């Protein structure tokens, strides 16, 4: 059986047939993503924790100084991109850095791009050392293709899984701009002294949240809340992933 390592937040610990998957409860069925991958001949090895930001995932699993540093089995990895703007993560200082830049919109955007590239640099070194082909898909947060242009060992499955699913169900829809922005699921960040934030940043956050929360097309592929895929959506995601691997990554 082929092996794929999966790095994610709660988007890997998906809702299964009856209950939400829990890491330590063996009686509950496998997460549907793992189950669907096994059906297609892949062993999924998860490195996932609910609420984790991309920075936390990288610091935990790709940084050699971490006690959780991963030496992967196979040569294919999947990152379900969870963004770098998340709620506080315990004692993790990286997750709160963004608050130092909210007062200046241009400064915030420069910091945002720099942070993503900084952590992608770490993943790129890891991928080269372990001969990994790293597939990235925008999950909790949109992942723009520009971040991996010119990089080695990276492959983009989709900038936004939810957007791709909406377009699959609604083939008539054509996009001139992204359907959802980078803050579509970041409603839990706006309790951090927003009176000090730059108006343009506040406007972007509000627009992204409003566009996503009022989009009836997205609600058809999410369950049981508005932030996780339903079972059928995970089937399509796994189908896309396996098709992508076998057509583009397998020699």
Per residue, what are the HEC states of 211-222?
A: HHHCCHHHHCCE
Q: Measured at the alpha carbon of residue 233, what is the angle toward residues 13 and 139, in degrees to the nearest 5?
A: 55
The pLDDT of residue 81 is above 60: yes
Mean pLDDT, residues 188-199 taken together: 86
Percentage of the chain lying above the pLDDT 70 cut: 89
pLDDT of residue 180 exceeding 70: yes
Radius of gyration of the chain (CA): 18
Average pLDDT over residues 165-180: 85
Q: Are strands 76-81 and 42-48 parallel, antiparallel or unpaired?
A: unpaired
Beta strands in the chain (DSSP E): 2-8, 42-48, 76-81, 133-138, 154-158
Range ranked top by mean pLDDT from 30-39, 69-78, 82-91, 212-221: 69-78
Does 138 score more than 80 pLDDT? yes
Handedness of CA 151, 54, 185, 19 (dihedral sign): positive
Give the pTM: 0.91
**CA-CA-CA-CA torsion for 89, 84, 140, 113, nearest 10 degrees?**
180
Of 63-72, 88-97, 182-191, where does mean pLDDT reach its minimum?
88-97
Average pLDDT over residues 163-171: 90
Cα(241)–Cα(78) distance, integer angstroms:
9
The CATH code of the domain that includes 148 is 3.40.50
**What are the structure tokens assigned to 47, written together?**
């490195």
Q: What local confidence, expressed as pLDDT, does residue 172 receive? A: 77
Could you tell me the two tokens for 123?
A: 């993943």
* pLDDT given for residue 149 in this prediction: 97
Q: What is the pLDDT of residue 163?
A: 95
86 pLDDT band, cuts 50/70/90, is: confident
The percent of residues in the chain predicted with pLDDT above 90, rounded, is: 64
Query: In terms of Cα–Cα distance, which of 77, 212, 78, 53 is closest to 137?
Result: 78
The per-residue pLDDT of the chain, averaged, comes to 88
What is the average pLDDT across 8-36? 65
Least confident span in 82-91, 93-102, 121-130, 183-192: 82-91
CB 81 within 8 A of CB 159: no
Distance CA 226, CA 188 (A): 13
- Residue 25 pLDDT exceeds 90: no
Task: Evaluate if residue 89 carries a pLDDT over 90.
Answer: no
Confidence of residue 188 (pLDDT cuts 50, 70, 90): confident
For the record, the structure tokens of 89 come out as 């993560």
The pLDDT of residue 202 is above 70: yes
Q: Is residue 67 over pLDDT 90?
A: yes
Phi, psi for 156 (deg, rounded to 5): -100, 120
| Residue 70 CB contacts under 8 Å (≥ 6 apart), including other chains | 5, 47, 61, 62, 126
Tell me how many domains the chain contains: 1
Tell me which residue range forms the domain holding 7: 2-249
Give the C-alpha separation, 38 to 16, whole Å: 14
**Greater model confidence, 24 or 2:** 2
pLDDT for residue 27: 47
């Amino acid at each position: 059986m082929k092996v794929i390592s999966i790095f994610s937040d709660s988007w890997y610990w998906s809702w299964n047939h009856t209950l939400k998957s829990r890491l330590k409860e063996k009686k509950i069925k496998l997460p549907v993503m793992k189950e669907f991958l096994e059906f297609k001949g892949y062993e999924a090895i998860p490195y996932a924790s609910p609420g984790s930001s991309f920075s936390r995932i990288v610091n935990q699993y790709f940084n050699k100084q971490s006690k959780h540093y991963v030496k992967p089995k196979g040569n294919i990895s999947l990152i379900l991109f969870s963004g770098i703007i998340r709620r506080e993560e315990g004692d993790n200082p990286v997750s709160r850095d963004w608050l130092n830049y909210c007062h200046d919109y241009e400064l915030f955007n420069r910091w945002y791009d720099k942070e993503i590239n900084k952590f992608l640099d770490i993943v790129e070194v890891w991928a080269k050392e372990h001969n990994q082909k790293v597939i990235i898909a925008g999950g909790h947060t949109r992942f723009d293709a520009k971040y991996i242009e010119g990089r080695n060992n990276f492959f983009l499955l989709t900038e936004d899984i939810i957007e791709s699913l909406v377009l699959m169900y609604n083939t008539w829809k054509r996009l001139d701009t992204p359907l959802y922005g980078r803050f579509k699921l970041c409603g839990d960040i706006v309790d951090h002294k927003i009176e000090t934030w730059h108006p343009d940043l506040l406007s972007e956050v509000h627009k992204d949240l409003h566009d996503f929360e009022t989009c009836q097309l997205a609600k058809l592929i999410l369950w049981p809340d508005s932030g996780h895929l339903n079972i059928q959506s995970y089937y399509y995601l796994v189908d896309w992933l396996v098709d992508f691997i076998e057509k583009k990554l397998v020699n």
